[in-house]
Amino acid sequence: MGKKLNIDYTNYDSKRGLYYVYKLINPIDESVFYVGRTSNKDLSIRLKQHATFGDKKNPELESVIEYILDSGYFPEIELIEETRYLQREAEIIKEYRKFHPLRNIVNGK
């Protein structure tokens, strides 16, 4: 038997291949209020999940989405980047926080 490779899969998902880092935008004032990650290339599905199910772990995010919906609008979603590395989302959140009041609970989520 050959030598076993010690590969760190913490930041790479070989099964799904790519992650899609996205931002949620408030259509009322065009502000970015959340950065997230999904393995589904169809971002409309992720947006519907945010709008339909809310986020019980993040009541501030849920509140912003409810405000947008109650105002007769629907949040917008936009792809920021495709990546193979999990930590890329946290790096992007850190950068976006410099210019946007994000509703992310912590970096990377």
- pLDDT for position 17: 82
- pLDDT for position 45: 93
* 3-state SS, residue 95: helix
The structural domains of the chain, with segments of one domain joined by +, span 19-97
- pLDDT for position 109: 46
- pLDDT for position 56: 79
Mean pLDDT per block of 10 residues along the chain (109 residues) reads: 42 66 98 95 93 84 95 97 92 95 78
CB atoms within 10 A of CB 89: 24
DSSP string, 23-79: EEEETTTTEEEEEEEES-S-HHHHHHHHHHH--TT-HHHHHHHHHHHHTT---EEEE
Are the C-beta atoms of residues 16 and 84 closer than 8 Å to each other? Answer: no
State pTM to two decimals. 0.81
